[in-house]
Structure 1
């Protein structure tokens, strides 16, 4: 049986690694947070002493990390995965952008390691339920070796092609649409609130509309914002990072992103206001302040 490794047991990674254990797949885990490792070990995972130790024990090593810099350090930095004896396939579930994915793939190939960029959609809830969308790019044989693990936490696992970075590109497309839809939907709903329609009425009607319904309306606004819980499970600073990556990569290939550039500024403003570590849905506060009212059960001053 293929031996797996999992590095990065944060908000999503801890659930993904748990699915591997529950499916009976042998997995060695590591994270800088010792408590997160201990929790998985109690559940049946093997303990990795370091990044390199995991790669010395596992043929397929998956990572789920917060930033491109950390991914590069773990994959090809000193004491990282490159050069370890056991690892054959490196699977990156982080969002790094296609440029970093290609750089990492080329550097690992020198060591005989195949790299798959395999970013995710579905958030923390999807990771916990095992219903993530996994967007994979890279060698077909490497994908086949990793697939049994990916399918433990991915309901929709797609191989986009062998060119490194295609998965990262699609993830940036996904997040740019999600962030833009949230901002524009919030703006439109606040127009309705200011005109005198209760927010809950607006969202109830829109959820039944064939033209306006969708994830931003039904999940982000009607559930996470209307309730004022703001608990979608994805940090503001990470969404902003993904938007910055999307704009940079789009410019590199000559794709226009005029509207998306404006949307990013709302996330810039939210981070500047100290919201970086809070949930991405709190970007709605920026629009509420401009409107002078809120999206809430009864509306009211912002």
Structure 2
């Protein structure tokens, strides 16, 4: 069965940053490929058919081991949606890492990703980080070329504010459909920016106010990276918020992971969590976030927020 190719229709995405071995340039191993295959199979069994990459993950090895699995699994490519990102250059020797959204670089990075992933097309390409030196006209030309050649179906951004996306979209003919941000019960600046407006605490929140509203008004789906906050609220029971999450999971007949994901999915902005764990048991623990609607009342949602922030709302 073919996957829904519009990434905005997916309720959960599997993040592949943890695949491919170490963060180094050493070759990946057969064990790394097997690890990737197990993670992919577990995600599919949990109803997850969209997979998120970036050209820099594990120095390209995340895409490469995923490509190995695609090559050995007949029909798998047609069952999934592939998303990748470009725009970050990793440190190299004495040269520090930097951002690079020059047109030629975008084209080259996409071609390299396609080779590693062993596919002819990316369903989605995201621009990974804002590049202060980027020429929006040059970006527009690169994206138009990728779309016209059938190499990329849809485009989006990552870690950008509403005004940054609006400025870019003014030059880009193809619509931008995704903005991927860090969002979780632990990383709440995206949420608190709105309620802290007109309070003394507003200056301590660096999130660009109005970004969520701008994305919603312009058909841009929000994706949340690190939505489980690296297990902060699901693998321990020694804090008030952890106990609250565990108690809600018991009452709802689900897992702590699902409660944390439901908290994001319940927000009306429309948020798709990108779950990056590679442990099969933790991937499986997220399946209710695919197969069930967020079962949190208005009061339960606020209880999670206020408990996590550790202070009353203004």
TM > 0.5 fold call: no
TM-score by length of 1: 0.31
- Structure of greater Rg: 1
Return the structure number with greater relative CO, CA threshold 8 A, min gap 6: 2
